[in-house]
Amino acid sequence: MTTASALTGVIPPVSTPLTPDLEVDTGSLARLVDHLLTGGVDALFVLGSTSEVAYLPDGHRKVVLETVVGHVAGQVPVLAGVIDTTALRVLDHARVAAGAGADGLVATAPFYTRTHPDEIAVHFRTIAARGGLPLYAYDLPVSVHSKLGTDLVLELAADGTLAGVKDSSGDEGGLRGVILGRRDRPEIDSFSVLTGSELTVDSALWMGADGVVPGLGNVDPHGYARLFRAAEQGNWVAARSEQERLLRLFQLVHVGAGRMGMSSSALGAFKAALHLRGIIDHPATALPQIPLNADEVARVKEYLATAGLL
């Protein structure tokens, strides 16, 4: 399976179920993949932020890749996050991903270092040249503390470095600039523009985005698939209605706010929801995240009930 045409549709970043002793729970992971495929998603993105990639040692990362690629068995493309500080470290992950049979790579700008935009270009060009798989840029300023500029993204699209971008910056003007810039350059019409902002999927698609990478899609893949299909069919009112239901559901990410980091609150809530829905065996999150307490889990349950997911 290749991704020569633009990747489109719903591409959830797959949660990584863990056992109580924090090993990858491969059984639950396979069930989660089935849940997502049954839900109607178009591709999978493993080892993204929602997958707790920043918490997983290399051994865990490899197990995740092999489990998902093996279980998917070519039904849909599998993109692999190769999240690390700079190009050479990213390329080590890329080799593992290629070896496991992934269909594409997803890399952020450098982090930890203080990096110039020209160096960010070198970073992506190095990964693309040696990574052996289509490369998607992951624009995530909240984690890497730099924003990919519209011109940079279009330049890296035009020279073949990037196969697409996952824009999780929340900068809808920038997203739209990329979409219009692509329209002006027919030679990059296979460049895939994906939004990572799970609350504005209908409007992103309306602007011309190709798809969405929603963390909340783990909990409710059917909802995001319905949203995407409605948009595809031009039924924008239905798309909006679905999006609004999902926006209300999304508030579950705040249940732990104040008592733990925002990462832990969101990741813990997604896993609690998957556990409550019977899809994964354990809601455990990786160290050093503080787990949700009983009260917080009960609130997740209420959100699920309200959204009709219990």
Least distance (Å) from its own copies to the CB of residue 151?
Answer: 10
Residue length, the chain? 310
Contact call for residue 200 and its own copies (CB under 8 A): yes
Phi, psi of 13 (to 5 degrees): -80, 115
Distance between the two ends of the chain, CA-based, in angstroms? 35
Task: Tell me the two tokens of residue 96.
Answer: 């593992």
Residue among 19, 141, 190, 236 that touches its own copies (CB under 8 A): 236
Asked if 206 contacts 235 with a C-beta cutoff of 8 angstroms, the reply is: no
Strand 78-81: give its sheet, edge to edge. Answer: 9-10, 211-212, 192-195, 164-167, 135-139, 104-108, 78-81, 44-46
Contact call for residue 173 and its own copies (CB under 8 A): yes
CA atoms within 13 A on the CB side of 310: 14
Contact call for residue 206 and its own copies (CB under 8 A): yes
Contact call for residue 57 and its own copies (CB under 8 A): yes
Residue among 197, 211, 272, 276 that touches its own copies (CB under 8 A): 197
Least distance (Å) from its own copies to the CB of residue 108?
Answer: 8
Which span sits near its own copies by CB under 8 A: 7-15, 64-72, 158-166, 236-244?
Answer: 236-244
Residue among 89, 99, 233, 298 that touches its own copies (CB under 8 A): 89
- Residue 230 has a CB neighbour count (10 Å cut-off) of 20
Residue among 10, 32, 56, 153 that touches its own copies (CB under 8 A): 56
Least distance (Å) from its own copies to the CB of residue 34?
Answer: 27
Which span sits near its own copies by CB under 8 A: 26-34, 167-175, 218-226, 293-301?
Answer: 167-175
Task: Tell me the two tokens of residue 69.
Answer: 């690629």
Contact call for residue 88 and its own copies (CB under 8 A): yes
How far is residue 47's CA from residue 52's CA, in Å, rounded to a whole number? Answer: 7
Asked if 23 contacts 31 with a C-beta cutoff of 8 angstroms, the reply is: no
Residue among 35, 60, 166, 226 that touches its own copies (CB under 8 A): 60
Cross-strand bridge partners of residue 24 = 18
Least distance (Å) from its own copies to the CB of residue 283?
Answer: 17
Least distance (Å) from its own copies to the CB of residue 207?
Answer: 7
Contact call for residue 290 and its own copies (CB under 8 A): yes
C-alpha closest to that of 299 among 272, 267, 278: 272
Which span sits near its own copies by CB under 8 A: 65-73, 186-194, 209-217, 283-291?
Answer: 283-291
How far is residue 165's CA from residue 177's CA, in Å, rounded to a whole number? Answer: 13
Contact call for residue 203 and its own copies (CB under 8 A): yes
- Residue 117 has a CB neighbour count (10 Å cut-off) of 13
Identity of the residue numbered 169? S
Residues that bind its own copies (CB under 8 A): 22, 49, 54-60, 83, 85-89, 91-92, 110-116, 118-123, 126, 142-145, 170-173, 176-177, 180, 197, 199-200, 202-203, 206-207, 236, 240, 244, 247-248, 250, 259-264, 286-290
